Structure formats: structure tokens, C-alpha cells
Structure 1
């Protein structure tokens, strides 16, 4: 496996279907194991890091978001409960929903949300996690219309930069990737190409 070092704060990954974009994200937080080579996080091989502790720092939002039984509130705080942290105040949760244009009551059942609303709820959940250092986003705007996608993605990226987080996102929308990414990785079935600063 060739060497790719990701240092920029926002990295976009684009490429044809089947080129391995989602697999690449899963490798980065040890949901999949590489057949050869090593992946390092803070100069430590992922095989030497407890997977649970790694995933508290390198947090992934899959293309089909995981929504847990219960309310919106339950879904927003479950990451904190899992890590043994204090849950955010309701005001913080409401501000996150507002930022992501999710105008819903905290105590409605999350199963009632549309696909796009569930996607935004999953994004809000990871943004609220204090332990997170890296956000891995797999097609974070796939269930959103163009206008909402641009707003939400812009807010997510602003949030990650303001809180000194790293963000790596797979997207089919090359225009969005070019607009927001500091570095762009283009993948195809057999290789990748890394484009330089602010494409």
C-alpha cells in the first residue's frame, strides 16, 4: 500500500463507485483491517491502539447513519454515555440542531425523522463528542438537497475548524469537495491521486 499522510484539516475523497472510498474510511478507525501495510494515528500503529479508544477519537458517520431506539435527545447524548462523559446541556443540544437546520423537538422519537434528518442527527451526535479528534464522514450530504447540503456541510466544517478537529470526508459531489477541502484525494479502481493545497 502506498503512503498517504493526511495533515490538512479538511481532506476530501472523491472517486468512482467501487474505488474503495468507504473502505478507506473504515480502515482509518479500524472497522476494517488492511491486508498489508500499516496505518498510523499520532505515530502509533492502529493495531497497537485499543479499537474502542480509537473510535472515541476517530469517529465515523457512515453513509447510512446509525439511529438508536429512543428520542432525538437519546441519540445526541449516547456517545457521551458510552464514553462515561457528562451529557451536554439541553441548550447545547438545541443549538446543535439549529446549526444543522434540524428544527425538531428533542423528545420526539428519532425513528420519525426522514433520511436527511437522520443524517443530520448523526452528524450532530459526533460533533458533540468531546473525545473526538477526527471526523470521518461518508457521503455526509447524500440524503440532503443541494441547498441544505451546502449549508450543513459548511457549518460542520466551520465547527471542526473552530474546535481544532480534523475532518476527512468521502463525497460524490466534486464541487462541494473542491469548495471545502484543503486537500483532495481522487481514487479510482487501481490508484489514487493527491492534489495539493486548496484545489
Structure 2
């Protein structure tokens, strides 16, 4: 799916060769400042490499329209935006931004169940806890139905038990719907338990690929 060839970005990343496979769960691990989030941001052109080439579905990212790419490869940052208004408003706004068809309340309630959030659609999103807001943002990404989900520490605001439950739900969603999940995580325990492939980054370089 993604292929890196001699990719360099500033003094942060230097990856000679890397393949991220389709329809798998890939976890990116490494110390803080090692370049994990930078790697994730390269995948949907939030930033572009200084040299080298990244291919997506055998096509160079440089030749793909950025807006079109981000409709298929959606990134959720570590501190996702929560907008004023209801949970429903926050769920629908991703579809509006990506110019996709809006969905029914039943579908919205269904996706809240995927992320284990037992809240009503008309509740104010800004009153939710940090972990609950993170789950609303996850649900928003799932609703956009991308080919690839890029998640940067998607469980950072959750306790360990809830983290395991949410990651398990995301992995099940990915596999049930033939999606690709690429996730930065601080937890090697989570990576080793759920990932099909683990990529370890150390000082901007590929330290280990595979299990």
C-alpha cells in the first residue's frame, strides 16, 4: 500500500526502505521525538518529504491530489478538534468537510457503539471528558469511511482498561470492513497484542520492522 524509497524529512526522519501493507493493522512505536508522528503526517501529505519518494497504491504521493488523498487516507491527531454543538454535530462535520453524504441518526448511534461511547446524540460535546471527546473524534473518522485510518495515539486520554477495549473495537472494525489501520502508540503492549506489523522508529530511522 505505502512504499518508502530513500525518504528524508529535515533532520527528523531518514528511512531508506519501508513497506506498509494493505488491509492490516500496523503500529508505529518508538521514544518521544523519534519521528513517529512525522511519519504518519507524511502518509496523507500534511507534510512532504525533502527527498526520496513515497508511493500509495503504486502511485507517487506527489502526483496525487492532496484533497482526494485525505478523503481516502484520514488522520486523527493526538489532540483532535471538538467543535461547539452536540455530539451529532461533531459526528456529521467530518462528512460535511469531506463532501460526503450525511447519514441517519441510527447510523450515528451505531458508530458510537463501535467506540464504546454511551451518550445521546443531542448532548453537548464540549461537556464530555477528554477520553469521551477522543472517542467522538474516532467515531467521526470511522463515519468518513476512509480506506486508511491514520491514528496518532488514539487512546492517550483513556485509562488502560478502556484503552484495550477501544483499540480492540478499532481493530475489529478495520478487519471486518477491509480497512487499513496505521497507528502510533506509546504502548508496546498494545502494539504486540493487536498489530499485524510493528514498525519501530529510533532517532528518525527504521529500527525494526515486523513482529
Instruction: Give the TM-score normalised by structure 1.
Output: 0.94
Aligned to 2:44: 29
- CA contact 2:100–2:144 (8 Å) conserved in 1: no
Question: What is the aligned counterpart of 2:117 among 79, 102, 122?
Answer: 102
Supply the distance in 2 between the matched residues of 1:72 and 1:158 (Cα, whole angstroms): 23
- CA contact 1:183–1:194 (8 Å) conserved in 2: no
- Runs (4 or more) in structure 1 with deviation over 4 Å come to none
Shift of 1:56: 0.6
Matches within 5 A, 1:10-159: 10-130=25-145, 132-159=146-173
Aligned to 1:193: 207
Supply the distance in 2 between the matched residues of 1:11 and 1:175 (Cα, whole angstroms): 14
Residue ranges of structure 1 left out of the alignment (5+ in a row) = none
Larger strand fraction of residues: 2
Q: Secondary structure at the match of 1:39?
A: strand
Instruction: Please provide the CA RMSD for this pair.
Output: 1.2
Q: Secondary structure at the match of 2:78?
A: coil
* CA spacing shift, 1:149–1:138, aligned 2, 3 Å: same
Shift of 1:67: 1.4
Q: Secondary structure at the match of 1:102?
A: coil
Residue ranges of structure 2 left out of the alignment (5+ in a row) = 1-6, 8-15
